């Protein structure tokens, strides 16, 4: 098996495209260091620059009301629940103002599949926020939410996305992807977009000129072959549209109806991210997932295919509701990058650097040693 793994890794490092069988073969390997070296080689080829990036944004869950039922989610509520909410406009303003004050340029707004809010409500929301905060990118609404808008309003998907884009939607997060295999989605979710529907939202959004991220949540009921199938579906769509800016993967946080599910740990996370970097040869950026793995593994992930530390994430509610919370300050993120040997640089959603170019480090004083 080792010779076969070596051949597959060499192929990926040299820029070759891996087949489905080769992807599954990599998942049979337990040689984490070998996988990491190959992923790092590919990442270094794609990103030879002397820096690694991060961004500053805030996750805002504008509502926790959701018509879907996901076995892993402890965040959603039904309409009549005592703690169900829809954030007021004033509360949204306050959260965005705080984000700007901390140097952020983006908010990630996701909610649930609210059963009664119509498309006009979202258009007014976006238009209002765009007018009030014109420099802030509205990275909002996961594909399952957008598919829900399309079904609830009985409007063509393209019209829904076009209207939201015109109202101020800047980019789409890759949330709600879990594993893009219907067997898996039907096993752990109900009333939620299936694989082709998730992909169709992204396809149409890209055709409209939009950009988005893509994700994978693993470590539940899926097989290794289904992880590979998920990655290949993303790679196939990227071949068609080139609309994905980045890929982020994370381990499922056991909770809610899946408390008996053993938690995938750092080994599985690093192994899966490394293989993802090798298979997704056309997705330019990979983010480290320190939110679920903590600072140390998030930093190590920069040597397992990631070229970005993700977001400062001023606020996070969904992962926190499952009981797993890691917080980093902005300086801690920068320190993680700096200690690993790169310059920390702030980026926007398109991975454009937006911080002032840092001054070069002071030249070391060169002087003859003083002999005592």
Task: Express each pLDDT in 1-30 by its tens digit.
Answer: 577 999 999 999 999 999 999 999 999 999
Task: Give me the residues paired with residue 285 across strands.
Answer: 246
- The pLDDT of residue 260: 72
Annotated binding residue at 116?
no
Annotated binding residue at 127?
no
Q: Tell me the pLDDT band of 364, cut-offs 50, 70 and 90.
A: very low
Nearest to 168 by CA among 201, 195, 141, 197: 141
Q: Tell me the pLDDT band of 367, cut-offs 50, 70 and 90.
A: very low
Over residues 86-100, the mean pLDDT reads 94
Two tokens, residue 279 = 């298979």
Mean pLDDT of the chain: 91
Q: Answer whether residue 320 shows pLDDT above 50.
A: yes
What CATH number was assigned to the domain covering residues 49-346?
3.20.20.70
How many other C-beta atoms can be found within 10 angstroms of the C-beta atom of residue 3? 7
Annotated binding residue at 289?
yes
DSSP state of 190: E
- The pLDDT of residue 75: 78
- The pLDDT of residue 17: 98
- The pLDDT of residue 316: 61
Annotated binding residue at 249?
no
DSSP state of 84: -
Annotated binding residue at 171?
no
Q: Where are the domains positioned within the chain?
A: 49-346
Over residues 287-316, the mean pLDDT reads 90
Task: Express each pLDDT in 268-286 by its tens digit.
Answer: 999 999 999 999 999 999 9
Instruction: Work out the angle at residue 64's Cα, subtended by the Cα atoms of residues 194 and 92, and round it to the nearest 5 degrees.
Output: 120
Over residues 140-152, the mean pLDDT reads 96
Q: Answer whether residue 366 shows pLDDT above 50.
A: no
| Distance between CA atoms of residues 319 and 49, nearest Å | 32
What is the secondary structure of 100-135 as a DSSP string? HHTT--EEEE-----SS--HHHHHHHHHHHHHH-TT
HSE, side-chain direction, 13 A CA sphere, residue 275: 29
Share of the chain above pLDDT 90, in %: 75
- The pLDDT of residue 24: 97
- The pLDDT of residue 72: 78
Q: Answer whether residue 353 shows pLDDT above 70.
A: yes
User: Could you give the 3-state DSSP secondary structure of residue 339?
Assistant: helix
Q: Tell me the pLDDT band of 262, cut-offs 50, 70 and 90.
A: confident
Task: Express each pLDDT in 207-252 by its tens digit.
Answer: 999 999 999 999 999 999 999 999 999 999 999 999 999 999 999 8
- The pLDDT of residue 168: 98
For residues 90 and 83, is the Cβ–Cβ distance under 8 A? no
Nearest to 215 by CA among 197, 202, 196: 202
Reported residue count of the chain is 372
- The pLDDT of residue 78: 86
- The pLDDT of residue 368: 39
| Distance between CA atoms of residues 231 and 151, nearest Å | 27
Task: Give me the residues paired with residue 343 across strands.
Answer: 51
Residues in contact with 246: Cβ distance below 8 Å, sequence separation at least 6, in sequence order: 213, 214, 283, 284, 285, 286, 287, 308, 351
Annotated binding residue at 214?
no
Lowest-confidence segment of 82-96, 300-314, 316-330 by average pLDDT: 316-330
Annotated binding residue at 29?
no
Q: Answer whether residue 148 shows pLDDT above 80.
A: yes
Annotated binding residue at 66?
yes
Query: Which stretches of 87-188 are assigned E, i.e. beta strand?
Result: 106-109, 137-140
Q: Answer whether residue 319 shows pLDDT above 90.
A: no
| Distance between CA atoms of residues 248 and 310, nearest Å | 9
Over residues 346-361, the mean pLDDT reads 84
């Amino acid at each position: 098996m080792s010779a076969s793994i070596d051949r597959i890794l060499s192929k990926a490092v040299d820029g070759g495209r891996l087949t489905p069988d080769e992807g599954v073969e990599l998942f049979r390997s337990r040689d984490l260091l070998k996988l990491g070296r190959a992923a790092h080689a590919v990442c270094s080829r794609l990103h030879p620059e002397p820096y690694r990036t991060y961004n500053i944004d805030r996750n805002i869950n504008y509502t926790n009301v959701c018509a879907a039922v996901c076995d892993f989610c402890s965040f959603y509520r039904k309409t009549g629940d005592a703690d169900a909410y829809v954030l007021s406009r004033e509360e949204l303003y306050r959260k965005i103002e705080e984000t700007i004050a901390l140097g952020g340029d983006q908010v990630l707004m996701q909610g649930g599949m609210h059963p009664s809010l119509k498309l006009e409500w979202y258009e007014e929301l976006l238009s209002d926020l765009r007018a009030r905060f014109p420099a802030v990118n509205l990275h909002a609404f996961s594909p399952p939410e957008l598919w829900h808008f399309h079904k609830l309003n009985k409007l063509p998907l393209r019209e829904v996305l076009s209207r939201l884009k015109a109202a101020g939607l800047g980019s789409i997060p890759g949330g709600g992807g879990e594993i893009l295999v219907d067997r898996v989605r039907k096993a752990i979710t109900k009333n939620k977009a299936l694989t082709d529907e998730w992909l169709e939202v992204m396809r149409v959004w890209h055709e409209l000129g939009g950009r988005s991220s893509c994700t994978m949540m693993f470590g539940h009921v899926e097989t290794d072959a289904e992880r590979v199938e998920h990655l290949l579906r993303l790679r196939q769509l990227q071949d068609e549209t080139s609309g994905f800016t980045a890929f982020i993967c994370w381990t499922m946080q056991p909770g809610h109806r899946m408390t008996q599910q053993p938690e995938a740990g750092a080994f599985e996370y690093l192994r899966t991210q490394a293989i993802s970097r090798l298979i997704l040869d056309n997705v330019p950026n990979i983010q480290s997932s320190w939110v679920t793995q903590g600072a140390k593994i998030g930093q190590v992930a920069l040597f397992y295919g990631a070229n970005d530390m993700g977001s400062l994430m001023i606020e996070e509610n969904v992962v926190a509701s499952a009981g797993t919370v890691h917080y980093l300050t902005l300086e801690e993120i920068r320190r993680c990058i700096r200690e690993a040997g790169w310059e920390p640089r702030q980026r926007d959603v398109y991975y454009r650097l937006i911080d002032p170019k840092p001054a070069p480090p002071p030249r070391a004083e060169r002087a003859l040693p003083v002999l005592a």
